[in-house]
Structures are given as C-alpha cells and as structure tokens.
Structure 1
Amino acid sequence: MYLEERRRLLLEQVRRLGRVDVATAAAELDVTTETVRKDLVHLERQGFVTRTHGGAIPVQRLGFEPVNAVRESVMNPEKLRIAAAAVAELPEEGAVLIDSGTTAALVPRFMSTDSHLRVVTNSLHIMNALAAFPNITLMHLGGVFRPVSQSTVGPWAVDALRELRIDVAFVGANGFSVDHGLTTSDQSEAECKRAIVKASRRSIALLDHSKIGAEYFHRFASPADIDGIVTDSGIDADLLEDLQETIDHVVIA
C-alpha cells in the first residue's frame, strides 16, 4: 500500500468513526504502530486531525476546519468526477447558484463556454473560473470575506439571497447524515448555505464519500430540504442504501 493511500484510509476512518486508534489501525493496515503515528503527525500538520493519547480525532470535532488549500488536496479525483457529473443537473437557461467549496469550485471546468446562464456565487474561485465565459451573466454575493473558504458570508449575503429565486443550486457541506441532514462547522457559513437552499427551486449537494455519514456542529438543511446529492463510488454500501432511501435523486460519479 502506498503512503498516500494509507494516509487517505486513516483520514477516512477518523472522519467516519470520530477517532482512530493507533494499535487497531496498525493491525488493520499491517504496518507498525510507529508508522501509523508518523502518518497521524503528518495529518495533524496538514490540519486534519488532532492527536490524542493512543490515536487521533478529527480537528473539526473541536470546531476548526482546514483552510481551502488543504481541503483541495483531499479526494481530488473523486471531486473531479462529482463536478463532471453535476454539470448534467444544470438547466439550459435560467439562474443557477454555485456555492463555495472545493468540489463546487471544480464545476466550471466541465461547463460549456457556450452556456447562457445567470450564475450567482459567493465564491472567489467560481468568479475567477467563470470570468472568461462570454455568455454567462456572473453575479457575486456581497458580505464578509472568509479566507478559510475563500467565500463571502454574513448578513449582506443572506439579505441578497432572500430577494433571489434560483433554479438550481450546487451546495457544499462538511457532512451529511440521514438523521441530521447537511452540516458545517462554521455558523456564518451555515446561515449563508441555509439561505441558498431556501432561495432555490432545486438544491443539489456535492459531497465526496468521506462526508456521507459525518455530522458537524451547525445544521443548515434537513434531508427533506434538498432535492439531490451527487457523490462518488467510494461510498460505503450501507451508507449508500440509507442515502437512497432518504434522498429521491442520488447520482454516483
């Protein structure tokens, strides 16, 4: 097993179970406990976990989240597949909203330059990516700039969303569970995402499989509030079954 693959598996486990035990992980991965400890040191330096006695827990459980640059390096092949599949959910014309988030930021790569859409976003990445599309009317939500997500949030963004009617919105989240819905670790992000869902006729969540089953502090949408989820084929079979029983429209990329 390659080093990066092993670390990815450790990160998935700590997110899914809420902690990872060094001795157990070493036995499951057939490596020494010292190897697992070094992996966890690396993941801690990257901002994903906090080491504890005998293991580690997700840093998000403590109310923090990795910066955008760190999150962009995780699950990138899966996020690319999700973004490519998400484009099929876009209407031929009308108003769409692309939320901030590392998966949503990849959507413009797969959009046609001939698209005639009005695109609303609070993401600087989306603004930059779509600025050269000649037929797109691009609108940015105002608000307080949040460096960790490279997005704008706060009352200005929420007030603007109350006046809009969006045909399709792509929404990001830190986690989704069938019991609790879509969640994130920051209150201002949650308020903005809640307003996005309310403003949209169809809300599609773009979530890589590591986020399915995870729960974070702030809920912004229940399962009934969203119309679909696009995820990747790495999702656990049992979680996928629960997901398909809860959400009418599930796309596996």
Structure 2
Amino acid sequence: MYAEERQEAIATLVGQLGRVAVTDLAERYDVTAETVRRDLAVLDRMGLVRRVHGGAVPAAALTALELGTTEREGSRSPEKDRIAKAALDFLPPSGGSVLFDAGTTTARVAALLPADRELLAVTNSLPIATRLSAHPGAQVHLLGGRVRGLTQAAVGPQTLRALDELRVDVAFIGTNALTLGHGLSTPDVDEGAVKRAMIKTAHRVVVVTDSSKLGREDFVRFAAIEDIDVLITDDAGPATLRNELEQYGIEVLTA
C-alpha cells in the first residue's frame, strides 16, 4: 500500500471510529509507529484529522462551544422527531418510572408520552417538567439544584444527592458526543456528573441522539459505551460505528 492510500484509509477509519491509536494503526497496516505518526502529521496539516496524545480524532471532533437549548431546538428537527417516536417503544408500562435527562431530543420523547400511560416521571429539566406537568397520567418529580441558564437543567450536589436515592425503570439520556474510545461525553463538568448519576440509577439506559454527535468527543466523559443498553439515532451515522456498538451488546436502532 502506498503512503497516500494508507493515509486515505486512516482518515476514513478515524471518521468512522471517532478515535484511533497509533499502535492499533501500526498493527492494522503493518508499518512502524513512527510511520503512522508521520501519516497523522500529514493528515493533521491537511485538516482531515486532529492529532491527540497516542493517536488521532476527527478534525471537528473536539467541541469548543456548547450551544444553548434555543440554538439546539431547531437543529436536525426531523431526525430528532423520528428518534423520539422510536423511543416510545422503550417506555415502561403504566405504573412504572422514567427519567428524562435535559436536552432537546429527550424533551421530544417526553412530549410524545401517551395520554393513557400513568408514569412517575423524574427530570432535571425545567422545560420537560413544565411540559409533563400538563400530562394527565404523569406524576412529575423535578430534581432540585443549581439551574444552568444555558441548558435549563438542574445540576450540582443537591441534584446528585437526590439521584443517589432513586431507582427508575428507564432513563432517556442525551449526549453531546459519542465514540467507542471516549464513550459518551459533554462539555460541562456538572452536567456530566448528573448524567453519570442518572445512568447509575436506571435499570435500563436508552440514549437518544442524532447522528451528528456520533464520532465526536467532548470534554467530560460521563459513561463508557458498555454502560448503555440502547442507542436510538438516525440513519445518517457511520455504519461501521453502529456495527461496533452492537458488538458491545448494545441495541442500536435507526429512525
């Protein structure tokens, strides 16, 4: 394989997996680690990947700016609507408990809650709690804490203490980024801590996220891939990543 062909293959692999290690690439292409580092340096200069310690990630993988709820609400709306509709199949039966993480996709799931379903609904999201308060069958439990203006989500020690005492049937979790290597991640430390606690308190974890988040990494890792049970996304994500996730025993649905 010529160097140009290998570099093209590496760039494609980085885009599919989200993060690759120098040692793995050297073994895959039967070259030295130094050769791989030179390949990554070339790809980095071309703007195709970004070199990180021990490997590389996609050039756009490291998020520098966290968008607020208003900005995210209108982004990829058709995909989020389809994901939310598919997520309804994972709601517990009447009498069960469900936790909604703050986010625009999880808010869409909450908005579609069937009128005849009686559930105990827990959330740290002010918009979701407000929406669910009008639901005839929902008993809403709003988690307390400091409210982040950017996401309208309660975070902090009070939120974490409340979650530590709860156990729910299903948690619908959103994420800002997802890769095999870094897992699920988000820009904010406090939001990451709450998401981590939510996952711990749920019997079943359903992640709802559009495919623009796949193959990206963010500042705070809040879960490993094996910590989730189901991923619901749209069909624009990399097929290789979906296949890899299924090998971890995760149920992957495309909407």
Structure 1 length as normaliser, TM-score?
A: 0.75
Q: Distance in 2 between matches of 1:207 and 1:164?
A: 24
State the match for 1:46 in structure 2. none
Q: Distance in 2 between matches of 1:59 and 1:67?
A: 19
Does the Cα contact within 8 Å between 2:61 and 2:215 map onto a contact in 1? no
Q: How many residues align?
A: 203
Q: 2:148 is matched with which residue: 146, 149, 152?
A: 146
**Are 1:110 and 2:123 matched, yes or no?**
no
Does the Cα contact within 8 Å between 1:60 and 1:185 map onto a contact in 2? no
Does the Cα contact within 8 Å between 2:63 and 2:217 map onto a contact in 1? no
Aligned 1:1-253 pairs, distance under 5 A: 61-62=63-64, 64-92=65-93, 93-253=95-255
CA offset digits 1:26-67 (Å, max 9, x no partner): xxxxxxxxxxxxxxxxxxxxxxxxxxxxxxx759633x3011
Describe the shift of the 1:244–1:138 C-alpha distance in structure 2 as closer, same or farther (beyond 3 A).
same
Q: CA deviation at 1:210?
A: 0.7
Does the Cα contact within 8 Å between 1:169 and 1:204 map onto a contact in 2? yes
SS in 2 for 1:198: helix
Q: Distance in 1 between matches of 2:90 and 2:245?
A: 19
SS in 2 for 1:179: coil
Gaps of 5+ in 2: 1-14, 20-43, 49-58
Aligned-residue RMSD, C-alpha:
2.2
SS in 1 for 2:158: helix
Q: Distance in 2 between matches of 1:139 and 1:109?
A: 16
Q: Distance in 2 between matches of 1:223 and 1:61?
A: 19
Q: CA deviation at 1:215?
A: 0.8
SS in 1 for 2:96: strand
Does the Cα contact within 8 Å between 1:228 and 1:247 map onto a contact in 2? no
Describe the shift of the 1:114–1:202 C-alpha distance in structure 2 as closer, same or farther (beyond 3 A).
same
State the match for 2:39 in structure 1. none
State the match for 2:30 in structure 1. none
Q: Based on CA coordinates, which of the two structures has the bigger radius of gyration? A: 2
Q: Distance in 2 between matches of 1:200 and 1:117?
A: 15
SS in 1 for 2:116: coil
SS in 1 for 2:109: helix
Q: Distance in 2 between matches of 1:151 and 1:206?
A: 17
What residue identity is the alignment partner of 1:244?
Answer: E
Q: Distance in 1 between matches of 2:137 and 2:194?
A: 27
SS in 2 for 1:69: helix
Q: Percent sequence identity over matched residues?
A: 41
Q: CA deviation at 1:109?
A: 2.8
Q: CA deviation at 1:206?
A: 0.6
What residue identity is the alignment partner of 2:67?
Answer: P
Q: Distance in 2 between matches of 1:243 and 1:205?
A: 12
Gaps of 5+ in 1: 1-12, 26-56
Q: Distance in 2 between matches of 1:222 and 1:131?
A: 33
Q: CA deviation at 1:126?
A: 0.9
Q: CA deviation at 1:242?
A: 2.0
Q: Distance in 2 between matches of 1:250 and 1:164?
A: 27
Q: Distance in 1 between matches of 2:131 and 2:152?
A: 13
Q: Distance in 2 between matches of 1:224 and 1:59?
A: 21
Q: CA deviation at 1:240?
A: 2.0
State the match for 1:35 in structure 2. none
